[in-house]
Amino acid sequence: VVFYDLTTVRIHGEAEVAGDVRAYGMNKETGGIARQFVLGLVQTSDGLPLMHTVHPGNVAEVRTLRAMLEEVLRRFTVQRVILVADRGLLSLDNVAQLSELAASSARRIEFILAVPARRYGELGEVMDRLEFTDGVAQARFAEHRLVVAHDAARAAEQGARRRTRIAELEAFAERLVGKLDAQDDGITERGRRATDRGAYSRFARALADAELTRFVSADYQADRFSYTVDEAAILDAERFDGKLVLLTSVEDLTGTQIIERYRSLADIERGFRVLKSDIEIAPVYHRLPERIRAHAQICYLALVLHRVMRMRLRARGSTLSPTSALRLLSRIQSHRATIGATHYSGVSRLTAEQARLFEDLNLPKPPAKAL
């Protein structure tokens, strides 16, 4: 089983060079447009990174999937590959390409892909027919197996949050209407005179900020400020609340096992957080493509060491994380002393916790002193 995901890495500089991987795209950290490159990561089910890829910052995630899988097949001789990937990597074209690759390969190639359910309108009818047992249901979609997990508590929470945000927006709209009506009755407030055009402008900004344009709309062509709430759209969205929808070609695992495999993908996100916090991959100040790729490779190798540390600590039953272990080891000091013509060097005396950590990591302890 291999897990695949991508993240964005911010980069500085405005100049352009041949073969530049720096490009403007939607940054996953800031949620805005930034100059960046895209880093792809492939790791095993044990959390060990296998390989990484570097793409231009404006690449569409879905276009990287087949090339990555072909590279995995070229570099590793495994006879069965189950690819697990997130919603951003699913398209029906990708599913067709993966199926074509599986049919043309002597090796067994399968996939578990999360479905951005609201993107496919025809899924609504499928969802209505599902019968859940212990929170799991199955069906067929796009000629493949569909596995759906449902969390009733989360569904209720998502639905309540959405309706609360819509109610807040309606209350804001009513305040705008009230101000306009009062003004028509000759009751004015201090400040700029309210207008229907101004009310539309303020409402549009609030609607965009709340990300509710699917459910609430204003009639911008009308002379008087007015809006409508699309109750059908709200009910349609509630079909998918609390649901994880997976499309898979794997037939020999239960629905629960398929869901567990997918949820293990979250470990890649933890790896991305390590890259951006402990390893500090960003921001990048390199200009030449080969230096950017070298920077990404060095950070990738640091992540491999971080994950090897995690695996060794877990194998020994240690409760320390690699970050905590590195912080503890950083307290060890190297010293050098000169007495006459003689020079002495060594390291500070290890604490019991530090000594145990070297054992857990299967590493030789540094000598207490050396001449």
Residue 361 DSSP code: T
Q: Tell me the percentage of the chain whose pLDDT exceeds 90.
A: 58
Cα gap 27→49, rounded to integer Å: 23
Three-state secondary-structure class, residue 351: coil
Where does residue 125 rank: exposed (0-12), middle (13-18), buried (19+ CB within 10 A)? exposed
Of residues 82 and 125, the one with the higher pLDDT is: 82
Q: Quote the mean pLDDT of the chain.
A: 89
CB 50, CB 44: distance < 8 Å: yes
Q: Lowest mean pLDDT: which of 85-94, 113-122, 334-343?
A: 113-122
Residues in the chain: 371
Three-state secondary-structure class, residue 28: coil
Q: Structure pTM?
A: 0.78
Is the pLDDT assigned to residue 370 strictly greater than 50?
Answer: no
- CA dihedral in degrees (102, 103, 107, 108; nearest 10)? 60
Cα gap 328→360, rounded to integer Å: 13
| Residue whose pair of structure tokens reads 């933890």 in the numeric block | 270
Q: 57 falls in which pLDDT band (50, 70, 90)? A: very high
Is the pLDDT assigned to residue 371 strictly greater than 60?
Answer: no
CB 6, CB 62: distance < 8 Å: no
Is the pLDDT assigned to residue 327 strictly greater than 90?
Answer: yes
Of residues 183 and 64, the one with the higher pLDDT is: 64
Of 120, 184, 181, the closest CA to residue 146 belongs to 120
| Interval 328-357 mean pLDDT | 90
| Residue whose pair of structure tokens reads 């200009």 in the numeric block | 287
Of 5, 138, 144, the closest CA to residue 84 belongs to 5
Q: Lowest mean pLDDT: which of 44-58, 98-112, 300-314, 316-330?
A: 98-112
